[in-house]
A and B are shown apart, each in its own frame.
Chain A
Amino acid sequence: MALLTVQNVTLGYENTTVVEGLDFEVNSGDYLCIVGENGSGKTTLMKTILHLRPALSGKIFTGEGLKRNEIGYLPQQTEVQRDFPASVFEIVLSGCLNKCGLRPFYNKKEKALARENMEKMGIEHLSGRCYRELSGGQQQRVLLARALCATSKMLLLDEPVAGLDPKATSELYEQIDKLNKEYGITVIMISHDISAAVKYASHILHVSHKPLFFGKTEDYLKSGIRQEFSQGGEGV
């Protein structure tokens, strides 16, 4: 039984199909990169996995005791967040909300978990700082720490390095890699950056209205799809 199974899923909007015939499994400890052009359905797929929108057909289910609300999510930044007056600690702590249920306030255990995850991401010194005053890379770490509060098993990242400078980008990639290798957290990441994808990921899913490739990274490199994609002028 895999952690996440996607069976013959078709995604799209009312009358248009964005991508069809998606079939793949994610096992515990995997690092899956989803690559493909803009509009090929990557974000739609992620939102469907997270139950934010329904699939047109097919099945998506979780296994190994992973509950649907135990998936940590790093969305693309929204306009609202850029000038949001909130301290780093407040934001990280809000990731624990799914553990509260009906209880209106956080308990000590959840606060400790928030601190622990801030340490993991190396942002404990920013605890009292205002989110909107941080650099892009720091902001992403804050949101990653929040996602870690919501999950200890699986992270879904939607273009986590978008808008970061090269240094912050490579630092964030290292950090994500560490979460995967050291803490055993399963990572599913959408990326435009195909060279980073093949460097870090254990598996690649290449979509372009239909899945072009799913499998191990080594096999992906041999398959030649990468070259085609690169020549399309995108992503490298």
Chain B
Amino acid sequence: MIEIFDKLEAYLRFDFVRNALIVGVLIALCSSLLGVTLVLKRFSFIGDGLSHVAFGAMSVAAVVGLTEQMALVLPVTVACAIILLAGGQRSKLKGDAAIAMISVGALAVGYLLQNVFSTSANVSGDVCSTLFGSTSILTLSKGDVWTCLILSALVLAVFVVFYNKIFAVTFDESFSQATGIRAKAYNLMIAVVIAVIIVLAMNLVGSLLVSALIIFPALSAMRLFKSFRGVVICSAIISVVCALVGILISIVASTPVGSTVVVTDLVVFAVFSIIGSIKR
């Protein structure tokens, strides 16, 4: 046991480890907040779809040779989020079909591009690390850390300021609209924030596992808590703790960061489910 702590202490002296922890915690915090809304509005799959879009956009950015990949990935993902969420109710394509189409489409295009135009020798390694985020959290540049800090601060601010409106629109869209709340505008805002969170969270867990980071804490919290505020606060705490624990375990045990964090979330979900069913 003491060995493990020594090892951790040694690692914590490295800048990249501290950066990873800061960024990991921030990402976990942001992703858990809107998870509740996403789950309740039956939008869980949108998170998954958008993460694939982000993967596709990242491949394009890599092929074109952009140094700041975020500059392309973020706008593309935001645009897709708007199309999926805002157009969802009216469009001819049914919501879930549209999501499935966009997500696998982007995945295919992304992999094709990386394979055909690849500049590196290890294509499958590159693809794997984008999909599962195997190392990116440990190789963050100073710029990445700052981008992440600013975007998370924005997401947090938006969530706190619009908390009551997000609640009302999540619970009952037609009532809010009937009483003069601009529900469509808030849906749009939620979509944009989700896109930002997904692009951020790709750094931590990679694009395939992003939706786990968004959905699991909310689902765990919903097993035990009975008020919206309770669920939101609890899922934020679960998410942050799981990210911390996951990152530390992955450093000590040399496991992939993303999947370790997600498995930690999964364990917490199992525990909460059991407690929830005992209480009932």
Interface mask (B174-211 → A, CB under 8 Å = 1, otherwise 0): 11111111000000000000000000000000000000
A4 to B42, CA, bound (A): 36
Q: Is A164 an interface residue (CB 8 A)?
A: no
Contact B179 A97 (CB under 8 A): yes
Give the size category of A's interface with B: 35 or more
Given contacts A97-B165, A104-B161, contact A85 B227 (CB under 8 A): yes
Closest Cβ of chain A: how far from B225's Cβ, in Å? Answer: 6
Which of the segments A58-66, A67-75, A185-193, A226-234 contacts the partner chain?
A67-75
A156-206 interface (Cβ within 8 A of B): 156
Interface mask (A33-60 → B, CB under 8 Å = 1, otherwise 0): 0000000000000010011100000000
A90 to B229, CA, bound (A): 9
Top 10 A-B residue pairs of the complex, sorted by shortest distance between their CB atoms: A69-B180, A130-B226, A87-B227, A50-B178, A86-B228, A73-B178, A98-B179, A150-B179, A94-B168, A104-B161
Main secondary structure, interface of B, reads helix
7 contacts between A and B (CB under 8 A): A47-B174, A50-B174, A71-B178, A85-B40, A94-B164, A97-B168, A105-B163
Q: Is B167 an interface residue (CB 8 A)?
A: yes
Q: Is B41 an interface residue (CB 8 A)?
A: yes
Closest Cβ of chain A: how far from B215's Cβ, in Å? Answer: 15
Contact A90 B222 (CB under 8 A): no
Contact B174 A94 (CB under 8 A): no
Given contacts A85-B222, A86-B227, contact A106 B164 (CB under 8 A): yes
Contact A80 B168 (CB under 8 A): no
Closest Cβ of chain A: how far from B163's Cβ, in Å? Answer: 7
Interface mask (B147-170 → A, CB under 8 Å = 1, otherwise 0): 000000000000011111101101
Q: Is B171 an interface residue (CB 8 A)?
A: yes
Q: Is B172 an interface residue (CB 8 A)?
A: yes
Q: Is A218 an interface residue (CB 8 A)?
A: no
Q: Is A91 an interface residue (CB 8 A)?
A: yes
Given contacts A97-B179, A130-B227, contact A52 B167 (CB under 8 A): no
Given contacts A90-B227, A100-B164, A104-B164, contact A80 B171 (CB under 8 A): yes
Q: Is B54 an interface residue (CB 8 A)?
A: no
In the complex, which of the residues A86, A106, A129, A151 contacts B171, with contact meaning CB atoms closer than 8 Å?
A86
B205-237 interface (Cβ within 8 A of A): 222, 225-231
Q: Using a Cβ cutoff of 8 Å, how many contacts connect chains A and B?
A: 97
A91 to B168, CA, bound (A): 8
A51 to B174, CA, bound (A): 10
Closest residue of chain B to A46 (Cβ to Cβ) is B178
Q: Is A78 an interface residue (CB 8 A)?
A: yes
Contact B174 A52 (CB under 8 A): yes
Closest Cβ of chain B: how far from A159's Cβ, in Å? Answer: 14
Given contacts A52-B174, A94-B164, contact A133 B226 (CB under 8 A): yes
B119-166 interface (Cβ within 8 A of A): 160-165
A106 to B229, CA, bound (A): 14
A114-160 interface (Cβ within 8 A of B): 128-130, 133, 146-147, 150-151, 156
In the complex, which of the residues A52, A69, A80, A147 contacts B42, with contact meaning CB atoms closer than 8 Å?
A80
Interface mask (B55-73 → A, CB under 8 Å = 1, otherwise 0): 0000000000000000000
Contact B225 A91 (CB under 8 A): no
In the complex, which of the residues B162, B174, B178, B226 contacts A129, with contact meaning CB atoms closer than 8 Å?
B226
Contact A98 B226 (CB under 8 A): no
In the complex, which of the residues A51, A68, A84, A146 contacts B175, with contact meaning CB atoms closer than 8 Å?
A146
A119 to B56, CA, bound (A): 55
Contact A85 B226 (CB under 8 A): yes
Closest Cβ of chain A: how far from B113's Cβ, in Å? Answer: 38
**Contacts of B164 on A, CB cut-off 8 Å?**
94, 97, 100, 104-106
Given contacts A80-B171, A97-B164, contact A87 B228 (CB under 8 A): yes
**Contacts of B161 on A, CB cut-off 8 Å?**
104
Closest Cβ of chain A: how far from B272's Cβ, in Å? Answer: 13
Closest Cβ of chain B: how far from A113's Cβ, in Å? Answer: 14
